[in-house]
């Protein structure tokens, strides 16, 4: 991490005092965000259990393979649309903000249409199953729209609305899956159709809470340029992160069988409680960092990043220890005795978490100062290492090799980010924040 300014202690006190009003004013709502993520994580975990039991490991592996394609589009959307919006939008006021969000909605609509068409066509051709392809494409479109909407509402200061639409989405989805499971009418395509329907209903229910918008065609090029300036690197970063996170699963599935993908996804679902913390931070930290930089420059940004990294590492390490102890019983309770032999996977996977939270804090800093090329550089270097090692590691050592490469890759991302951030902030510490296009308030 970079050298801290002399008045860091005063900054931390100011952050503790003024941070509460900033959170309320900006609508980040950390308590509501944490409650929302607890709801989403618990329901996603329950959904995974229902699907694994109803489908069986082989069909669940097929579903998981299709869902990995959807997660790729989510990563691209985060980099291209959502992450720039979360950092830029909260720093804009009045008509500038209304115009900005109006143009971002146009970007999102175009992205959803292209992504859903690509995923649906690709899955249909890959598996020779038009029904599966169409179902995956519909699930992709609805899930992308719902995920963007909840993050958009967080950026615009409406956490209560987010909690409401997420409760609707998760409740309808889980109830429908349980009902179909009891009727023995649940398959991979049917599960995807349920996900599509519940997400679409949630997205439609959010329309009344969208906030004020303004259409300024003259600003379209300017806003698009600013989005692209930050998003061009984040979208490439999203590709690298997807490759790191799921490329290994696909290699393992090709070498060891598609059933293994279902096993690994089941183990990953146990770690959903860890994602609760990261997702809550994702909803709160980027808007706080964007406002802090707009209002106080680097002196306001640094305490936010330091506090985030400290809380993330300490909390992540504690949770990792608890999961290492209880992972076996959790897997047995959730997925039955057949999967208990893979309980050690939970402990290995959990080692990624505290390191990834430190990386996340540093990424928030780069996003706030709109220097996201450094994030891509760190992630791309780790992805290259991952690509070089993953095939021989899985072929020679199986799942152990896969997890070893994953841990090594995550540590490399964190270390490279730390070096680049220290250099960037040292060079900019005395400079005024750089504005591009629409100026932050």
Query: Tens of pLDDT along 123-149?
Result: 888 888 888 899 999 999 999 999 999
pLDDT band for position 165 (50/70/90)?
very high
Average pLDDT, integer, range 250-278:
65
d(CA 256, CA 396) in angstroms, rounded, equals 11
Query: pLDDT tens for residues 381-398?
Result: 888 888 888 888 878 887
- Alpha-carbon Rg for the chain, nearest whole angstrom, is 21
Listed range (125-139, 181-195, 265-279) with the worst mean pLDDT:
265-279
Q: Which two tokens stand for residue 366?
A: 């780069």
Average pLDDT, integer, range 334-345:
66
pLDDT band for position 338 (50/70/90)?
low
Query: At residue 19, does pLDDT exceed 50?
Result: no
Query: pLDDT tens for residues 195-240?
Result: 999 999 999 999 888 888 888 888 888 888 888 877 777 777 777 7
d(CA 213, CA 248) in angstroms, rounded, equals 42
Q: Which two tokens stand for residue 149?
A: 């909407």
Q: Which two tokens stand for residue 144?
A: 């992308």
pLDDT band for position 172 (50/70/90)?
very high
Taken in order 21, 23, 25, 29, the sign of the CA dihedral is negative
**pLDDT score for 415:** 92
Query: pLDDT tens for residues 287-327?
Result: 788 778 877 877 788 888 888 888 888 877 887 777 667 66
Taken in order 364, 367, 371, 374, the sign of the CA dihedral is positive
């Amino acid at each position: 991490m970079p050298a801290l300014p002399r008045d860091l202690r005063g900054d931390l006190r100011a952050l503790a005092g003024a941070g509460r009003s900033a959170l309320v004013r900006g609508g980040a709502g950390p308590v509501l965000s944490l409650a929302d993520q607890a709801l989403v994580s618990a329901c996603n975990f329950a959904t995974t259990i229902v699907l694994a039991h109803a489908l069986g490991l082989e069909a669940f592996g097929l579903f998981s393979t299709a869902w990995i394609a959807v997660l790729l589009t989510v990563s691209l959307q985060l980099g291209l649309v959502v992450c720039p919006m979360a950092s830029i939008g909260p720093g804009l006021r009045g008509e500038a903000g209304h115009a900005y969000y109006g143009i971002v909605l146009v970007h999102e609509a175009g992205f959803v249409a292209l992504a859903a068409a690509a995923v649906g066509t690709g899955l249909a051709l890959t598996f020779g199953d038009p029904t599966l392809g169409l179902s995956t494409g519909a699930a992709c479109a609805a899930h992308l729209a719902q995920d963007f909407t909840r993050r958009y509402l967080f950026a615009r200061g409406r956490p209560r609305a987010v909690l409401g639409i997420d409760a609707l989405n998760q409740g309808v989805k889980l109830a429908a899956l349980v009902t179909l499971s009891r009727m023995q009418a649940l398959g991979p395509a049917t599960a995807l159709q349920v996900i599509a329907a519940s997400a679409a209903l949630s997205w439609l229910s959010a329309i009344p809470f969208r906030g004020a918008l303004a259409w300024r065609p003259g600003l379209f090029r300017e806003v698009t340029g600013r989005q692209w300036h930050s998003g061009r690197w984040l979208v490439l970063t999203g590709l690298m992160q997807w490759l790191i996170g799921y490329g290994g699963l696909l290699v393992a599935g090709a070498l060891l069988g598609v059933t293994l993908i279902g096993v690994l996804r089941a183990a990953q679902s146990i770690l959903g409680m860890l994602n609760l913390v990261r997702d809550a931070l994702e909803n709160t930290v980027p808007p706080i960092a964007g406002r802090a930089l707009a209002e106080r420059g680097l002196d306001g940004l640094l305490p936010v990043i330091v506090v985030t990294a400290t809380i993330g590492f300490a909390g992540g390490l504690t949770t990792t220890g608890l999961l290492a102890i209880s992972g076996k019983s959790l897997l047995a309770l959730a997925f039955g005795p057949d999967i208990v032999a893979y309980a050690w996977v939970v402990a290995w996977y959990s080692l990624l978490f505290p390191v990834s939270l430190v990386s996340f804090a540093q990424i928030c800093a780069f996003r706030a100062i709109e220097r996201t090329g450094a994030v891509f550089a760190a992630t791309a270097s780790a992805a290259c290492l991952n690509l070089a090692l993953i095939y021989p590691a899985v072929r020679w050592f199986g799942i152990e090799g896969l997890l070893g490469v994953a841990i090594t890759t995550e540590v490399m991302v964190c270390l490279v980010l730390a070096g680049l951030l220290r250099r960037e902030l040292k060079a900019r510490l005395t400079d005024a924040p750089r504005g591009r296009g629409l100026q932050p308030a």
